[in-house]
Structures are given as C-alpha cells and as structure tokens.
Amino acid sequence: MAFDPFTLAGFAGAAVLMVAYFASQQGWLAADDWRFPAGNLVGSLLILLSLTAAWNLPSVVIEGFWAAISLYGLTRRFLRR
C-alpha cells in the first residue's frame, strides 16, 4: 500500500508529537525546554499539512490550537531569556 506525501507528512507529524510527549513523560525532555514546544509545533504543522488532502474540521481545529499553544510556549521561552 502506497501513501501519498500528505499522508506521510501526517504520520511524521504524529510521530514527532508522540516522541516529544513520551520524552517528557520519561523525564528526558522538560516541558520548559524549547525543544518540547518546537517538536509539538512541527508535529502539528505536519498534521495540518496532511489535513489539506483529507479535510476534517475537528482535527484542523485541535491542530490549530496545538500549533498556537506551541508558538506561545516558544515565544514565552525566548522572551524570558
């Protein structure tokens, strides 16, 4: 079974989100480390990209919020420096 590039982007985005969350739960990555919201942002943007090919409004809404919160976290982190 072959997947189109948008579906592959969605899988990659889901993987990035899960790796960041798992690393946080394992204590390998602190939630206030810039890499945590950066990973979440990249993951959510990849999933949003996949949703352009397979539209699902509730998924777009949650990924949009996920990206916005990740941007907020990154901005807050860099402004505190």
SS (H, E, C) 6-26: HHHHHHHHHHHHHHHHHHHHH
Residue-by-residue pLDDT tens, the chain, 81 positions: 889 999 999 999 999 999 999 999 999 999 989 999 999 999 999 999 999 999 999 999 999 999 999 999 999 999 987
Residue 54 falls inside a structural domain: yes
Domain count, the chain: 1
Give the separation between CA 24 and CA 7, rounded to whole angstroms.
26
Range of the domain at 71: 27-81
This prediction has a pTM of: 0.92
Residue 75 falls inside a structural domain: yes
Extended strands (E) in the chain: none
